[in-house]
Amino acid sequence: MPINAGWGELLVGAYHRLENECEVVSYNNRSEEPGNQMEADVLGIDNDRESGEQHVYVCEVVTHLKGNLYSGSPKDEQGWWMEYSNTSAYHRSLEKLWKKFLDDHNYVRQTFPHADKYSFEFWAPVVKGAKTTGPLIKGLDRLSEEFEKETDEELELFINEKYNNHISKLRDRAKDDVSNRGIPAYRFLQILENMG
C-alpha cells in the first residue's frame, strides 16, 4: 500500500489507473526543490503507446464526510475567497486549494515539461451546500474559473454527485472482475461487490 495515502486518495488513484488507463499512479508527490513544501495528493500518468502522447493528471483529494474541507482562518483576507460566506473555514478551504493547485501547476510543468496534456482535478465525496448551490460550492466554481484565468488550464471539480458517479464506475467494474490487479482500493471494492 502506498505510504501515507488515505483511502480517498487510493480510490481516486484506482479510478485513474483503471478508467483513464494511467500506467503510473503516485501518491503524495513532493517537490525536490529546496524550500518548496508543495504536495500533490494523486498524480497519474497515461503514456499512449500508439500516439506517443503523455497525459498527466494532478488531483487534490479531500475526504471529509461531514462536508467540510479544511478548518482554520485564511492567511490572506484580501483574496477573492473572502466573497464566499462569512465562514472562516470556507475562506481557508478556498485559499488553501487555490495555493495547492497553483503549486501543483508549477510542479507538473517543471517535472513533466514535455507532456502533451495536463488535467487538474479536485475530488471530494461530500461538500456542504445543496447539490449545486451554497457558498462553498460557488466558491469552488470560482476557484476553477480563477485557476483557468491564471494558468490557461482547466480545473475540473469531482464533488458530490459527480464524485459518486465516477466512483460508481469502479464499483460496477468490480462486480464483474475478480482478478487481483494490485490496486488496494479497487480490491476492497471487489470484495464488497462480490460478497454473496
* Residue in 186, 195, 193 with CA at minimum distance from that of residue 1: 186
Neighbours of 169 (CB within 10 A): 12
- Residue 67 pLDDT grade (very low, low, confident, very high; cuts 50, 70, 90): confident
Model pLDDT for residues 138-183, shown as the tens digit of each residue: 999 999 999 999 999 999 999 999 999 999 999 999 998 989 899 9
Q: How do 24-30 and 39-47 pair as beta strands?
A: antiparallel
- Residue 4 pLDDT grade (very low, low, confident, very high; cuts 50, 70, 90): confident
Neighbours of 44 (CB within 10 A): 23
Q: Output the pLDDT for position 1.
A: 44
Q: List the chain domain ranges.
A: 7-69+95-193
CATH class of the domain comprising 7-69+95-193: alpha beta
For the segment 60-86, the average pLDDT, to the nearest whole number, is 92
